[in-house]
Each structure stands twice: as C-alpha cells, then as structure tokens.
Amino acid sequence: MTSKLLFTFGGVLIAFLAFGVGYWWKGERLGALDRFEVKKPLEIQVAPTKKGVLPEGAVLYEYRVLPETTTYILFVNSKNRDLLAPRPGGEHKVVIEPVDAYPAEKG
C-alpha cells in the first residue's frame, strides 16, 4: 500500500514538474524573440479582396528569417470572441499561414 501511494505521489510530482518546465520554456522562448515596431502603417492581405491595415506602433516578434522575407508574430487581444471561429489545421495543431504585408497606400 505504501509503495503504491509513493508511486502515485511520484507520478503526480513528475507531471507537475513537466508542466512547470514546459510553461517556463514557452515563456523563455517567446521572451527571446527580437521585437520590432511598425514605423509606418502596413497593409496586410490574405486574398485580393481581403485586406486590412496594421497600424504604426504595433509590435511584431521575429519568428523566421529567410533570404527574401521575414515572418513575424503579432499578439492580438480581443473581447469580441464571437467574431472568431476555430480553423482546422489538419493533422497539425499549429499551421503557420503568414499574410502578406506592404506599405499602406495613402488616401
């Protein structure tokens, strides 16, 4: 009985440690990303008819640098969750689908 209790306690302790280390690592990884501030508004485009503007002052986090392009992460807070819908990612939970960004046209 004592060994079973000790085994259960050890399993729970390992689970908590694993969760804690994972949570810490996630925070450390995101905290290590270089931050960039948008200096002029950027037009963002998902499709030819689906465009928006990323305002000056928005903070982006550098995710991946390739010879011709760089991918950034933008964190968004929203109280309007009803405007968002889950998007299936196929077999992967996280699918990186960058949108294109261009200098915003004046007018």
The answer on 43 and 26 residing in a single domain is no
The answer on 73 and 41 residing in a single domain is yes
2 lies in which domain range?
A: 1-32
pLDDT digits (tens, 9 = 90+) for 17-32: 776 656 555 555 667 7
Would you place residue 88 in the very low, low, confident or very high pLDDT band (cuts 50, 70, 90)? confident
**Residue 88 in domain:** no
**Residue 9 in domain:** yes
The answer on 15 and 58 residing in a single domain is no
Residue type, 69: T
Tokens of 91: 């077999």
Q: Match 């969750």 to its residue by tokens.
A: 81
The answer on 104 and 58 residing in a single domain is yes
Phi then psi dihedrals of residue 46, to 5 deg: -95, -35
Give the residues across from 44 on adjacent strands: 52, 101
- pLDDT given at position 60: 93
The residue count for the chain: 107
Structurally, the chain folds into a number of domains equal to 2
**Residue 87 in domain:** no
CA–CA distances in Å: residue 74 to residues 4, 22, 57? 47, 22, 12
